[in-house]
Chain A
Amino acid sequence: GIQVEQSPPDLILQEGANSTLRCNFSDSVNNLQWFHQNPWGQLINLFYIPSGTKQNGRLSATTVATERYSLLYISSSQTTDSGVYFCANSRDRGSTLGRLYFGRGTQLTVWP
C-alpha cells in the first residue's frame, strides 16, 4: 500500500506558538486529506488538498504533489488544537474516493 510518514510524532507547544506538521508519501498524491482527532476520538476533516494551498482561519495546508509531501500550518495555537493530526492519501483519481491510507499521526499538546 501507500506509505505515509508523518513528522514529528509528538509536538508540545505553549499557547500562541506556531507549528508545522509534515506528511511524506511514497506514491502520487491523489485525494490528500488532513484530519484532526480530538481527545474524544472524533475525526474531523480539515482539508481536502491534493495540490496547492488552502487556508481556514488559523490553519492552512500546502501540498507539493510533484515532491510528494504536504504541510499543515497551525498559527497562534490554542489549547483546543490539542489532539492527533492525521494525513491520508488514496490511489484513486477523479471523483471516486476509495481506500485512504493514514499516517501514524502527530500528537499535538498545547499548554495554556
Chain B
Amino acid sequence: GAGVSQSPRYKVAKRGQDVALRCDPISGHVSLFWYQQALGQGPEFLTYFQNEAQLDKSGLPSDRFFAERPEGSVSTLKIQRTQQEDSAVYLCASSLLTGVNYGYTFGSGTRLTIV
C-alpha cells in the first residue's frame, strides 16, 4: 500500500485479556519496527525485524509481549494478560533498506487502553 497501515486504530481491553495489534508495512520495505509511546513521552523502541528475522527484541518490556513477522511482510504484536501499564499508543514503522533511503515511515498507531 501507499503507507504503513495499523489496525485496529483503537482498542479497549479488560485487564488480563490478550490483545493482538497488526501492522502492514509499505510493500517492499525490509525493515519493520514497533515502538510504544506513553502519553507525553517520545516513542520507545520495542522490537525490530529485517524481513522475517527478529534482530532485536531488547525493548520488549516483559515476556508478555511477543512480536512476529512470519512471511517478512505483515507483523503482529501480541500482548498477553494485559495490565494497566500497557496502555499506550503502539506505533509501527517500516524502512527501505538501501544505500540511499534511510527514513522511517510510521503508521498512525493503535491506541490501546486497558481498563
Contact = CB atoms under 8 A, between A and B. Distances in A.
**Do they bind each other?**
yes
Interface of A: 4, 31, 33, 35, 40-45, 48, 86, 88, 95-105
Nearest to A43: B106
Interface in B18-73: 31, 33, 35, 40-45, 48, 55-56, 58-59
A43 B99 contact: no
B44 to A, nearest CB: 7
Q: What does DSSP make chain A's interface, helix, strand, loop or mixed?
A: loop
Interface residues of B, number: 29
Contact of B31 (A44, A97, A104): A97
Contacts of A31: 102
B48 A95 contact: no
Given A33-B103, A42-B108, A43-B106, A102 B98 contact: no
B108 A41 contact: yes
Given A102-B42, A105-B42, A97 B59 contact: no
Nearest to B41: A104
Contact of A102 (B44, B55, B56): B44
Contact of A43 (B31, B59, B91): B91
A98 B57 CA distance: 11
Nearest to A107: B40
Given A42-B108, A43-B91, A98-B55, A48 B42 contact: no
- Pick the 9 closest A-B CB pairs, nearest first: A102-B42, A43-B106, A99-B45, A45-B103, A95-B99, A48-B103, A48-B102, A102-B43, A104-B42
